[in-house]
Structure 1
Amino acid sequence: MLWIELLIFLACIVIGARIGGIGMGVIAGIGLIIFVFLFQMPPGSPPVIVLGMILAVITALSTMEAAGGLDYLVSVAEKVMRKNPKSITFVAPFVTYILIFASGTQHVIYALLPVIAEISRKAGVRPERPMSISVIAAMHGLVASPISAATVALVGSLAGLDVTLPQIMMVTIPSTLIAVFIGALSVLKRGKNLADDPVYQEKLAKGLLAEETQSEKKVLEGKELALAKGSTIMFFLAIVVVVIVGMFPGLRPTYETIVNGAVQTGQISMAKTIIILMLATAGIIMVFFKAQPGKTIAGKTMKSGLVALISILGISWLGSSFYEANQLVIIDSIKTIIEGQQWVFAIGLFLLSILLFSQAATITILMPVGVALGIPAPILIAVYPAVNGYFFLPTYGTVIAAVSFDQTGTTKIGKYLLNHSFMLPGLVTTISAVVISLLLTSVF
């Protein structure tokens, strides 16, 4: 019966991934019908607190976007890259990393990719180099970000192990930054320069390349610029407060409740603290920096965030049902595999992320299993960057976008599918991040 259940679980993931969007979440609902009503398996439960944290962060970020904050961040990033065109292979991924780290969402890379393609082409640098590593850098910037859905999910999953957000960041930030640098080195000399590339030269000779124009973006001026800057500062202040409260648990308020006639003192959890702070931040941005509610809801961040929420709701709930029904078998099987080699858990995260195309969903499903297996918290934090395996199949949105924005044709999906431009920097960066994280956790 286990294998039939596993087959249904995987089928829901594959079909949902092929449909795209909220497909994974709603197809998981069909799986739940089969599991719960037909097979009479335990219903499991959705990660309510994690979903609440993600929704609160998305709301705050969406209000910042509505106030012009994301446009402002992108404009700053573009200026930095244009100042160093010859070093675009190194500058682009780090600018991308910082922007994703600060914003907590990958979708802002869509505004950077055409800029990277344009700058590299004008500088005579093969666009494949900065484009490929920038896409990978965005994934790792998201892992390091304290307010990304994936990190929020990790904090929620490890809550029972007394793991704080600063502890996670002390490992993920340096490991991913160093890994991105190593990844950039891996593509620094990749392929021929544009001057020597026959495919590019042929396109150029035939006039198949469109005229290079300055990327069209909304120019923020006057009051709009002031509001955009203000919303950005407010959002960053909120992130700082979240980190500080995580570092000093005593800052979280205590409260009293009456249970069976006795007064009990409790302290608000870190998860609820994040939810409150982010909702309050959204409110402040909306009131003082004129973020319109309609624009907030209609923005790209809110739309992509809701897709992520529905996907995580469905697939994590389905995974919870499958896990609860087969908990002993799953734990015993995995325990045998990873016994004495707990880092192998990273491979599981990597493989599942390929199927789910979601770091947060991968964490929500597998990290509780790691906790149940008794894997120490430092190891679980160290293998966290392994959730960036979704570059492996060249079907993710940022991968496809990078290919389409590169008019030179150097950034490509290979003839054999897996020999695409992102495989080398993706593997190098992700493996490096995990190895460095393991070294850091052994020191700390």
Structure 2
Amino acid sequence: MIGVEFVIVLLSILIGARLGSIAIGLSSGLGVLILTLILGIKPGIIPFDVIEIIMSVTIAIAVMQVAGGMDYLVKLAEHLLRKHPRHITFLAPLISYIMTLLSGTGHTIFSTLPIIAEVAKEHNIRPSRPLSIAVIASQIAITASPISAAVVFFASILEPYGINYLTLLCVSLPSTMISIFLAAMVTNFLGKDLKDDHVYQAQLLKGEISSRKTRKVYEVKPHAGLAVLLFLIGIFSVMLYCTFTSENIELISNPILSRNEAITVFMFTVATLICIFCKIDTSSIIDASTFKSGMSACVCIMGVAWLGDTFIQAHLNNLKLFASHILQSYPWMLALILFFASTLLYSQAATTKALMPAALTLGLSPITVVASFSAVSALFILPTYPTLLAAVEIDDTGSTKIGNYIFNHSFIIPGILSIIFSVIFGFLFANIIL
């Protein structure tokens, strides 16, 4: 029966992926319906705590975008890329990483993808190189972002093992950043330069590809810098609160607000202050691209995580028994399990919530669990993630592509290398710091 249930889970996800966009969350609901009402499985838990964090952060980002903050950051990114175009394969993922780190969502990369593609093409650099590693950086940086749902939840379950929020970031930040840089070094040699790509040159001569696009001019609004500053203050406040309320540090005993509630309060407060001091039209917030993508992500996570948790909880004891034998002998296999699970659960936060508590109860060393954390970022395996698809669509040279065999796409090598390097350095830093 477990085989039939697993097929239902896969088919539900594949149907949603085929339909695209928000449909992967909706089709997961269909999967839950079949598993529960037809096969009689008890429904899993909807991760409302994770959704709460994503929604509150998304709202603050959307307000900042309406105030001109996103255009301000994108203009800075464009200036950096155009000043050093030859290093775009290294600068593009760095920009993507930092923007995700500060925002807690990889969807901020949507605004920088067109610039990355344009600058690369202007200098005859294969766009697939910077685009692919930039998308991967936006995914793996979630496991190092101080306001991401995955990090906040993971830190909360690590407290009883003597690992606090700040210590987790001290391991995940350097390990993920170094991994992106190393993966970018390899990515920089993937494929031919455009001047040596005969297919591209033939298409260019036929006029099928424009040699240059009209640049989008980013007009910085008067209060854009203030909006960014207020948002950064909000992030800093979250970091301080989560650190001070840690059970291991306990500078604030018996806090009135839980971490989730604190993040919601801080993000809503930041959004309110931006609305007041930057004098924005609040009716335009729901039309912001970051608001739409963030709310879409909430629906996807709600459906996929619910579906995944329904299946996992139904067979948790058997899975624990099976996994315990393997993981006790080969602890590094946890990273592999997280890798494949995140491919199906479609979310770093959902994967963390579904599997990390079980990994700790199996008696695995906290060092192993923390070091393997970045492996929850394998959202690139199935070429259906929105930022991945956006990169493919933006690159009119055709160098960033999805192959005929689904898995042979431009993101597979940079993504796998990034996670391998991150886990390796995760073990290194975890052994030093923990």
User: Normalising by structure 1, what TM-score?
Assistant: 0.88
Go from structure 1 to structure 2 and tell me whether the alpha carbon gap of 1:217 and 1:245 turns closer, same or farther (over 3 Å shift).
same
Q: Which amino acid aligns with 2:73?
A: L
Which of residues 260, 268, 275 in structure 2 aligns to 1:279?
268
Partner of 1:377: 366
CA deviation map 1:123-172 (0-9, x unaligned): 23222222222222222223322223433443455466564332221111
Native 8 Å contact 1:74 1:108 kept in 2:
no
Task: Give the C-alpha shift of residue 280 in structure 1.
Answer: 1.7
Partner of 1:333: 322
Between the aligned partners of 1:185 and 1:63, the Cα distance in structure 2 is 36
Partner of 1:124: 124
Native 8 Å contact 2:327 2:364 kept in 1:
no
Between the aligned partners of 1:12 and 1:162, the Cα distance in structure 2 is 39
1:343 maps to 2:343 = no
Q: Which amino acid aligns with 2:403?
A: G
Secondary structure of the 1:132 match is: helix
Go from structure 1 to structure 2 and tell me whether the alpha carbon gap of 1:196 and 1:316 turns closer, same or farther (over 3 Å shift).
closer
Matched pairs, number: 429
Native 8 Å contact 2:139 2:379 kept in 1:
no
Between the aligned partners of 2:51 and 2:355, the Cα distance in structure 1 is 16
CA deviation map 1:242-280 (0-9, x unaligned): 1122332245464xxxxxxxxxxx654323222222222
Between the aligned partners of 1:146 and 1:378, the Cα distance in structure 2 is 19
Between the aligned partners of 1:325 and 1:30, the Cα distance in structure 2 is 17
Go from structure 1 to structure 2 and tell me whether the alpha carbon gap of 1:403 and 1:372 turns closer, same or farther (over 3 Å shift).
same
Between the aligned partners of 1:21 and 1:322, the Cα distance in structure 2 is 23
Between the aligned partners of 2:8 and 2:92, the Cα distance in structure 1 is 41
Between the aligned partners of 1:290 and 1:49, the Cα distance in structure 2 is 31
Task: Give the C-alpha shift of residue 33 in structure 1.
Answer: 3.4
Partner of 1:437: 426
CA deviation map 1:339-379 (0-9, x unaligned): 23222111122112222332222223222332332333332
Partner of 1:181: 181
Q: Which amino acid aligns with 1:245?
A: Y
Partner of 1:247: 243
Q: Which stretch of the first structure deviates more once superposed, 345-354 or 35-44? A: 35-44
Q: Trace 1:195-210 onto structure 2 (pairs within 5 A).
A: 195-210=195-210
Q: Which amino acid aligns with 2:395?
A: D
Native 8 Å contact 1:331 1:372 kept in 2:
no
Native 8 Å contact 2:21 2:386 kept in 1:
no
Task: Give the C-alpha shift of residue 179 in structure 1.
Answer: 0.7
| Gap regions ≥5 residues in structure 2 | none
Which of residues 374, 391, 400 in structure 1 aligns to 2:389?
400
Go from structure 1 to structure 2 and tell me whether the alpha carbon gap of 1:237 and 1:415 turns closer, same or farther (over 3 Å shift).
same
Q: Which amino acid aligns with 1:239?
A: I
Partner of 2:13: 13
CA deviation map 1:408-428 (0-9, x unaligned): 332233344333222221111
CA deviation map 1:212-263 (0-9, x unaligned): 134314412xxx23x2111111111111121122332245464xxxxxxxxx
Native 8 Å contact 1:15 1:27 kept in 2:
yes
Native 8 Å contact 2:171 2:429 kept in 1:
yes
Which structure would you say has the larger Rg?
A: 1
Which of residues 295, 320, 337 in structure 1 aligns to 2:284?
295
Percent of counterpart pairs with the same letter? 38
Go from structure 1 to structure 2 and tell me whether the alpha carbon gap of 1:5 and 1:424 turns closer, same or farther (over 3 Å shift).
closer
Q: Trace 1:129-148 onto structure 2 (pairs within 5 A).
A: 129-148=129-148
Secondary structure of the 2:329 match is: coil
Native 8 Å contact 1:93 1:134 kept in 2:
yes
Partner of 2:299: 310
Between the aligned partners of 1:69 and 1:428, the Cα distance in structure 2 is 33
- RMSD of the TM alignment (CA)? 2.4
Q: Which amino acid aligns with 1:339?
A: Q
Task: Give the C-alpha shift of residue 102 in structure 1.
Answer: 2.0
Between the aligned partners of 2:12 and 2:64, the Cα distance in structure 1 is 35
Between the aligned partners of 1:108 and 1:330, the Cα distance in structure 2 is 36
Secondary structure of the 2:423 match is: helix
Q: Which amino acid aligns with 2:4?
A: I
Q: Which stretch of the first structure deviates more once superposed, 112-121 or 353-362? A: 353-362
Native 8 Å contact 1:199 1:409 kept in 2:
no
1:68 maps to 2:68 = yes
Between the aligned partners of 1:32 and 1:88, the Cα distance in structure 2 is 44
Native 8 Å contact 2:50 2:349 kept in 1:
no
Partner of 2:347: 358
Between the aligned partners of 1:107 and 1:137, the Cα distance in structure 2 is 12
Secondary structure of the 1:428 match is: helix
Q: Which amino acid aligns with 1:346?
A: A
Between the aligned partners of 1:196 and 1:215, the Cα distance in structure 2 is 25
Between the aligned partners of 1:192 and 1:322, the Cα distance in structure 2 is 44
Task: Give the C-alpha shift of residue 91 in structure 1.
Answer: 1.8
Between the aligned partners of 1:214 and 1:378, the Cα distance in structure 2 is 50
1:22 maps to 2:19 = no
Go from structure 1 to structure 2 and tell me whether the alpha carbon gap of 1:401 and 1:153 turns closer, same or farther (over 3 Å shift).
same
Native 8 Å contact 1:51 1:313 kept in 2:
yes
Between the aligned partners of 2:101 and 2:145, the Cα distance in structure 1 is 4
1:98 maps to 2:109 = no
